[in-house]
Amino acid sequence: MTPSECAVPDSAAIAAAAARIAPHAQRTPVLHSRSLDVLTGATLLFKCESFQRAGSFKFRGACNAVWSLDAATAARGVVTHSSGNHGAALALAARTRGIAAHVVVPEGAVAAKLAAITAAGAVLHRCAPTMVAREAMAEAVRAQTGASLIHPYTDPRVIAGQGTLALELLQEAGTLDALVAPIGGGGLIGGCAIAAHGIDPRIEIHGAEPRGADDAARSLCSGTRVTELVPQTFCDGLRGLIGAINFELLRAHSVQVTTLDDAATFAALRLIWERLKILVEPSSAIALAAVLARRERFAGKRVGIVLSGGNVDLDACLAGLAPVSIKSRDGG
């Protein structure tokens, strides 16, 4: 990676990413629910990345990274480690350019996400479910193949790509008082913060994080990045530890983090299904859970909520959602 690629991306880099991925990425819809507005006392605008290619916002960053490579470098392929969404996104982005993709996946990853990675044509490499094991195997594959490492959230090209989501949201929704996004490794919220503050520095940036994987909240509280934590949450997309560059972005943009237990997140997931009529991942629903948990903070405001993806283990999800309230067949 060149020195310029190592720099923290700015608004110009996000604008360039938007132009670069435009031929390949979907412009995802922004949904609104009056009943959820009443419930929260705020105006909620949901950016629905479940409709993005590969089923999550991750395609934006992966696509920008892949299409940023020069031809000679791209020809050697790309490699990453991922619990699912970034791996599927990188595999699909690589396919749009006709190059090889290698994805290191930890044991225990969601089966539906692994199937998506394979369907997109990537080569799977399995490892133990620790960040150390993931990074070690990704480095071994990189050394063996010559492929370029595209990190799931610390790569500035990935962060810039994720920021294109906030550009679209603000273009469609207009003025926002706050933007809420999930926090895992921090690439999404970092990119969104850069993009949003490049347009309006007054927008509050809020992160939503599982209580059982609260390394970002702990890091901000202590002023030092937490590098050792064993995540305990069903939000599988949020089990990664906050990256160094991402932690600095949280601090630079005064990101406020709310931690939620899994029960609150699951309740929000069910509300999204019932009110918006879409099924999203728990890692997406946590953003609405944060607003519900802090109604007084968001009351009266226009709030953008990032629904980050929709790659769900459907059997497990439906088992948890049932029984649901269903009107009788006679229309009663």
Q: What is the mean pLDDT of each run of 10 residues along the chain (332 residues)?
A: 62 98 98 97 98 96 98 97 88 97 88 84 90 91 96 96 98 97 97 98 98 97 94 89 96 98 96 96 97 98 97 68 36 29
Residue at a domain's end among 118, 149, 180 = 149
* pLDDT score of 319: 62
* pLDDT score of 331: 29
Question: Between β-strands 30-31 and 43-48, what pairing exists: parallel, antiparallel or unpaired?
Answer: antiparallel
Roughly how many angstroms between the first and final C-alpha of the chain, as a whole number? 62
Residue at a domain's end among 149, 164, 191 = 149
Please check whether residues 209 and 137 belong to one and the same domain.
Answer: no
Q: Which two tokens stand for residue 242?
A: 């906050």
In 10 A of CB 324, how many CB atoms? 9
Please check whether residues 85 and 23 belong to one and the same domain.
Answer: no
Contact 266, 285 (CB under 8 A): yes
**CATH number of the domain encompassing residue 94:** 3.40.50.1100
Q: Is 201 exposed, middle or buried (0-12, 13-18, 19+ CB in 10 A)?
A: exposed
58 given a catalytic annotation: yes
What's the CA gap between 167 and 45, in Å, rounded? 14
Please check whether residues 171 and 293 belong to one and the same domain.
Answer: yes
Does residue 144 lie in a domain region? yes
Given 3-state DSSP classes, what are the helix, strand and coil percentages for the chain, each rounded to the nearest 5?
50, 15, 35
Does residue 332 lie in a domain region? no
Phi, then psi, of 123 in degrees rounded to 5:
-90, 125
Does residue 327 lie in a domain region? no
What's the CA gap between 36 and 187, in Å, rounded? 27
pTM exceeds 0.75: yes
Amino acid at position 227, single letter = T
Does residue 180 lie in a domain region? yes
Q: Which domain holds residue 16?
A: 3-56+155-321
From 50, 56, 83, 308, the catalytic residue: 83
83 given a catalytic annotation: yes
Instruction: Output DSSP code: residue 56.
Output: B
From 47, 50, 58, 284, the catalytic residue: 58
Long-range contacts formed by 43-46: CB under 8 A, 24+ apart: 43/301, 43/302, 43/303, 44/288, 44/291, 44/303, 44/305, 45/169, 45/173, 45/176, 45/302, 45/303, 45/304, 45/305, 46/272, 46/276, 46/288, 46/305, 46/307
* pLDDT score of 191: 98
Does residue 315 lie in a domain region? yes
Minimal CA–CA distance to 85: which of 68, 110, 63? 110
